[in-house]
Structure 1
Amino acid sequence: MQTPAAAPVEKVIVTYKARTAEATSNDAARSDTSAKAQETGEKLSFERRLAGGAALVDLGAGAEDKKDLAEVMAAFRADSSVAAVEPDIRAYPLAVTPNDTDYAKQWDLFEATGGMNVPAAWDKTTGGGVTVAVIDTGASAHSDLTANTIGGYDFISSPADARDGNGRDADPRDEGDWNDFDAECDPDSEAGPSSWHGTHVAGTISAATNNGKGVAGIAHGAKVQHVRVLGKCGGSSADIADAITWASGGSVPGVPANPNPAKVLNLSLGGASSTCPSVYRIAIDGAVARGATVVVAAGNSNADTAGFTPANCANVISVASTSREGNRSYYSNFGTAVDVSAPGGETRRSTDTPGTVTTPQNGIWSTLNSGLTTPSAENYKPYQGTSMAAPHIAGLAALLKSAKSSLTPAQIESAIKSNARPLPGVCSGGCGAGIADAAKTVAAVTGGSTGGGTVFSNAADVTITDNATVTSPITVTGRSGAAPAALKVDVDIKHSYRGDLVVDLLAPDGTAYRLKNAGSGDSAANVLASYTVNASSETANGTWKLRVRDAASGDTGYIDSWSLTF
């Protein structure tokens, strides 16, 4: 948004030189202000001492034009006891409320109770430079998506399921996924219209924003790449695995290389399985190794996510759904396999008129198509599901990757989880780290200030060698007084045998706070954790260090990144 015209300056900030009476005594500063008032003829008054030691001086009524301000500042500058004087200028929020006509319906982006605090993140990033692959039903034409859509691929190998008369091709258009009759696909399937599911998912991630129509996308500066895997009767794991590989820049036999590999993959799909199939595991691990963050819907069976795949696979961000009131949505899967939650909506249907939604305002509004079977006119409608929750996290992942391109998938996942907030409502069974907070997470990775504090970080790699001790410093400035009683320490250490490692936080005075002990039975890799330290006896400002000691031989690694939240 355009910054408003400068408002009249009403106060000035005077910094006195150290060891002068005015620098430490309010009475002396007040007396000096009175002297300057007599000198300039203005009604100056000492208002208060600022945290940094400067004096705030009110110019008084009448001293509102540039000439008066210049005279007052000149008087202070001419004083040998004054180090600096500057106007007390105003700042304004830079985020703009989008003019998209349905933005007011998007409670999931901005409402304090159930929303994800997205608009405040747009001050820092809108996702520019990042491609998000929507591995789904493909794309139906929509003017609110056209500008942010790049070429994708159709991976449905069965012409009958694809409904396009051929197998795999470079055209990811959604031909419809309707069922003609009950049990057409399996004994439990029901006849129904096309969902245009991939189009709805894409709108949440990257619908054009501030264009005077429709809805706003979370990462509206990003590009969406449709990778079609779901058609009539769903999609096969073989096709989906190949799509994951291709979307992330991997090689698939018989398919041209992806010219625009995605750094975020959204999979709002799944099926029942007590384990992660190896075909998924290999594809997902490969995608993550190529630097892609993989986001997966937890499932809509009101059951433990551990029984549904690919949500139960390792190396993914598994997303549960929450309602407008901040509860776990009644249909959402849950459990220890869930990493984080996001708005997925919770609507109710009429018992008198089948198919009629009685609370559309509580769903997730996005781009859609009005065709019952084949494509027709574009429109917008509310859906609900973990399929709607997942693209909220995919959009956030795109914002993070755009704000800091060096972030790895593990760091993106850690940042999202570390900065989530507890559900304000009820969650039975486990909803991961809580509801994701977009603005807080973006601020955390960019070192900005958030409602949860100011984040100081160091992302420079420090090699950890056998039987050696290394440190990584963070210099904290601008924090007066003591450190917090709940100082948050986020650690990302890459190591092939984390049981070898002893990890400490060193305060500026050298005091050590143990974060992790070595453990001979802990053979897992990497330390990706968030610790809380009572550092209230320490001065906040100064150089803090993360100290890592490798207490054994045979395995090595490095400090990838770490941060302190004050």
Structure 2
Amino acid sequence: MLAVTATALLATGAATSAAATPSPAPAASPATPSAAADTPVERLIVGYKSRAAEAASDSAADKDAQAKGKKAGESLGFDRRLGTGAALLDLGGKLDKGDAADVMDAFRADPDVAYVVPDTRMYATAVSPNDTEYSRQWDLFESTAGMNVPAAWDKATGQGVKVAVIDTGYVAHSDLAANIVSGYDFISDPFISQDGGGRDSNAADPGDWTSAGECGVDEDGQPVPKETSDNSWHGTHVAGTIAAAANNGKGVAGIAYDATIQPVRVLGRCGGMTSDIIDAITWASGGSVQGVPSNPNPADVINMSLGGEGGCDAGTQSAINSAVGRGTTIVVAAGNDNANAAYFNPASCSNVITVAASDRQGNRAYYSNYGSVVDITAPGGETPVSSSNGILSTLNSGTRSVGSESYAAYQGTSMAAPHIAGLAALMIDANPSLTPAQIESTIKSKARSLPGSCSGGCGSGLADAGAALGSGGTTTTGSNVFRNTTDVSIPDTGSWATSSVTVTGRSGNAPSSLKVDVDIKHTYRGDLIIEIVAPDGSSARLKDSSDDSTANLLTTYTVNASDVAANGTWKLRVADVYSGDTGYIDSWGLTF
């Protein structure tokens, strides 16, 4: 018999039918509004349902855009087809959020439209360094808060694994040259591109420096940027963390130093556009993009150290889902706003590994985003006090043009994400049959606790490369902890979603204070009923449905399980009792 203590909502009870209550739940409202909502909109991304003529015909999409624009009093036209099949529509100028909302409402009212989202701007998620001196790569091997990478190198070095870095492109560097393969420049706007043209096969980074105010104004009317900024060479720094050459007598060693890097350029002056990023994800993973030659080196891993405000949009999610379906593992930065990553894109997308940043002492870095959408933490560094506490990697000295190759220490979740991309490459080298879900599950289950502090949620802890390459992904993470990190979809007003954990090596019965930690991604957690089922079949209700409109659930319940045997298969089962909202069990575990 199981009983739940006061930390849970209900005591032992039988299962309730998941489809018993047909009333729809209201849409969840984020606790923090997105500043992106105040940004003028120039283009829309529209996904049509497959039955619609507009889903396949550019002329039909153009006709539909003109008709809906006329209805809303605006001038719309078809721009191009994205790699996901969505249509990119030009609004004929910059619309404020009210006028753009009127246009989007016209599309949302059409039953043939699956989704419509603004084509928003994203930015690199590094924090600029304040010094270039660096003495050692503590992030790889220091015992306090390093990622234990040397322990993995006797099992894999990334040989034969292809990693796409969707970023600012690549500036030539001798410590990376041997591992670079041809990429592509997906920046369609010549102003952003800063290389004199639009899309082409040259992913070289000409620099992304900007003059004060060149990128417009923020929601407070302040110029963006406030001051002239120098070239970041962001993509080259990220690439070096993943796959800088090793054992060559100079510079730094990449985590997967025998992997190849494919630079895919989407960020330039003033950031980059969602539509270009969607096409880059599609192409890098082996999908087809109109007007772009097929990719001869589809990626096993994609790193996206970029992001913008606002939750994951349907267009980006569609591209990610298709890429993961093709077998590509996608790693993204959580963001640098010291805020909940649930309100940033693509950090809040499903089917990605979202990475927070830690400092040299193993605390969550002061700038790092946090929250239930974070999957894992990796070294991101903190440079304000000393550059020796940053992440050293390959760079260039040029401030307004290409200069000479160099090295510099940066900080940011941009620096944390490539640690995980490099680790994923090592895992694929060691076991090419691993799926993206298995890679994420193993990285999370083999993480260790942060040696410092983390407020707000840092995922499963600090990544450990040696452990991840060690024993093939068993769910046991310690003598007292048993976990399952495989995603399980929760049917919308359907049957139970069930995830199992097998407990072995325990003697006697379970404790009277069994801890059940639960991480569920769902757009309206009040819809959910959650139960724990013991090996003998007895069950306890952990959570009943409610009117709680908050997204996602990350919590721990305490169960009195002293009457049942500890060993055996335990099950977490979750039901969604209202229609209209979806989610999945991300991970859960038992602590004895």
Q: TM-score range by the shorter chain?
A: 0.5 to 0.7
2:470 & 2:264 partners in 1: Cα distance? 31
Structure 1 residues 482 and 385, CA gap change in structure 2 (3 angstroms) = same
Summarize the alignment of residues 115-154 of structure 1 with structure 2, pairs less than 5 Å apart.
115-154=146-185
Cα contact 1:482–1:537 (8 A) shared by 2: no
Change (3 A) 1:565 1:289: farther
Q: Aligned residue for 2:348?
A: 312
Distance 1:125 1:565 in 2: 32
Matched, 1:263 2:290: no
Conserved in 1, the CA contact under 8 Å of 2:164 and 2:264?
yes
Q: Deviations over 1:82-134 (max 9, x none)?
A: xxxxxxxxxxxxxxxxxxxx996111111122111111011211222211110
Q: 1:318 to 1:126 in 2, by over 3 A?
A: same
Per the TM alignment, residue 419 of structure 1 is displaced from its structure 2 partner at its CA by: 1.7
Identity of aligned residues (%): 59
Which residue does 1:330 correspond to in 2?
366
The corresponding residue for 1:371 is 398
Give how far 1:159 is off.
2.3
Go from structure 1 to structure 2 and tell me whether the alpha carbon gap of 1:111 and 1:167 turns closer, same or farther (over 3 Å shift).
same
Task: List aligned pairs for 1:147-162, cutoff 5 A.
Answer: 147-162=178-193
1:176 match: 207
Q: Does 1:339 align with 2:375?
A: yes
Is this contact kept in 1: 2:188–2:198, CA < 8 A?
yes
After superposition, residues 60-459 of structure 1 pair within 5 angstroms as 105-179=136-210, 181-186=211-216, 187-189=223-225, 190-271=227-308, 273-348=309-384, 358-445=385-472
Cα distance in 2 for partners of 1:416, 1:483 equals: 30
Q: Would the alpha carbon gap of residues 147 and 103 (structure 1) be closer, same or farther in structure 2, given more than 3 Å must change?
A: farther
Q: Determine the C-alpha separation between the residues in 2 that align with 1:302 and 1:474.
A: 34
Task: Tell me the SS of whatever aligns to 1:270.
Answer: strand
1-structure distance, mates of 2:144, 2:558: 26
**Structure 1 CA distance, aligned partners of 2:340 and 2:278?**
23
Alpha-carbon distance in 1 for matches of 2:361, 2:156: 27
User: Could you tell me how far 1:274 is from its partner in structure 2?
Assistant: 2.8
State the Cα distance separating 1:202 from its structure 2 match. Answer: 0.4
Separation of aligned partners in 1, 2:542 and 2:343: 32
Tell whether the 8 Å contact from 1:444 to 1:450 is kept in structure 2 after alignment.
Answer: no
SS in 2 for 1:123: coil
- Asked if structure 2 preserves the Cα contact closer than 8 Å seen for 1:447 and 1:454, the reply is no
Offset at 1:196? 0.4
Q: RMSD over aligned Cα, in angstroms?
A: 5.0
Moved over 4 A (4+): 446-457, 473-477, 479-491, 502-507, 510-517, 530-541, 543-548, 562-566
Contact 2:134–2:388 (8 Å) recurs in 1: no
Q: Distance in 1 between matches of 2:333 and 2:363?
A: 17
Q: CA deviation at 1:160?
A: 2.8
- Match of 1:114, SS state, is coil
Taking the aligned partners of 1:128 and 1:531, their CA distance within structure 2 comes to 43
- Aligned with 1:282: secondary structure? helix
Quote the Cα distance in structure 2 between the aligned partners of 1:153 and 1:269.
17
Structure 2 Cα separation of the partners of residues 536 and 113 of structure 1 = 37
Say which SS state the counterpart of residue 418 (structure 2) adopts: helix
> One-letter code of the match for 1:125?
A
Q: Answer whether contact 1:299 1:305 (CA < 8 A) is retained.
A: yes
Residue 480 of structure 1: how far off its partner (Å): 12
Partners of 1:395 and 1:534 lie apart in 2 by: 42
Deviations 1:405-426 (A, max 9, x none): 2222122112111222222212
The CA deviation at 1:445 is 2.1
Q: 1:429 to 1:480 in 2, by over 3 A?
A: closer
Q: Residue 225 of structure 1 aligns to which amino acid in structure 2?
A: Q
* Partner Cα distance (2:273, 2:333) in 1: 17
How far apart, in 1, do the equivalents of 2:224 and 2:238 lie?
25
Secondary structure, aligned partner of 2:471 = helix
Aligned residues: 449
Relative to structure 1, the CA distance from residue 440 to residue 137 in structure 2 (aligned partners, 3 Å threshold; closer, same or farther) is: same
Instruction: Give the Å deviation of 1:446.
Output: 6.3
Asked if structure 1 preserves the Cα contact closer than 8 Å seen for 2:187 and 2:272, the reply is yes
Equivalent-residue separation in structure 2 for 1:429 and 1:330 (angstroms): 12
Structure 2: how far apart are the matches of 1:219 and 1:515? Answer: 45
Distance 1:451 1:231, change over 3 A: same
Aligned AA for 1:126? T
Hey, what's the Cα distance between the residues in 1 that align with 2:515 and 2:262?
37
SS in 1 for 2:182: strand
Shift in CA distance, 337/563, structure 1 to aligned 2, threshold 3 Å = closer
Amino acid paired to 2:320: I
Q: Which amino acid in the other structure matches residue 429 of structure 1?
A: G
Deviation (angstroms), 1:161: 2.0
Instruction: Tell me, yes or no, if the aligned pair for 2:239 and 2:261 is still in contact at 8 Å.
Output: yes
Q: Is the 8 A contact 1:327 1:425 kept in 2?
A: yes
Q: Which residue identity is paired with 2:427? A: L
Alpha carbons of 1:105 and 1:503: their partners in 2 closer, same or farther (altered >3 Å)? Answer: same
* Matching of residues 508-523 of structure 1 within 5 Å: none
Give SS of 2:423's match.
helix
Deviations 1:202-230 (CA, angstroms, capped at 9, x unpaired): 01111111221111111112111100111
Give distance in 1, aligned partners of 2:420 and 2:455: 21
Per the alignment, do residues 377 and 136 of structure 1 end up closer, same or farther by CA in structure 2, a change over 3 Å counting?
same
- The answer to whether the 8 A contact 2:353-2:376 is kept is yes
1:330-355 per-residue CA deviation (whole Å, 9 max, x = no partner) reads: 1111122211111100111xxxxxxx
Higher mean C-alpha displacement, 313-322 vs 382-391: 313-322
Gaps spanning 5+ residues in structure 2: where?
A: 1-132, 217-222, 487-499, 519-526, 546-555, 574-587
Q: Counterparts of 2:569 and 2:192 in 1: how far apart (Å)? A: 59
| Residues 447 and 426 of structure 1: CA distance in aligned 2, closer, same or farther (over 3 Å) | closer
Structure 2 Cα separation of the partners of residues 268 and 320 of structure 1: 11
Rg (Cα) greater in structure: 1
Letter in 1 for 2:408: K
Matches within 5 A, 1:484-495: none
Counterpart CA distance in 2 for 1:155 and 1:144 is 25
User: How far did residue 429 of structure 1 move?
Assistant: 1.5
> 3-state DSSP class of the match of 1:420?
coil
1:156–1:167: 8 Å Cα contact kept in structure 2? yes
Counterpart-to-counterpart distance in 1, 2:313 and 2:559: 40
Q: What is the TM-score with the length of structure 2 in the denominator?
A: 0.61
Take 2:563 and 2:141, find their aligned partners in 1: how far apart are those partners? 38
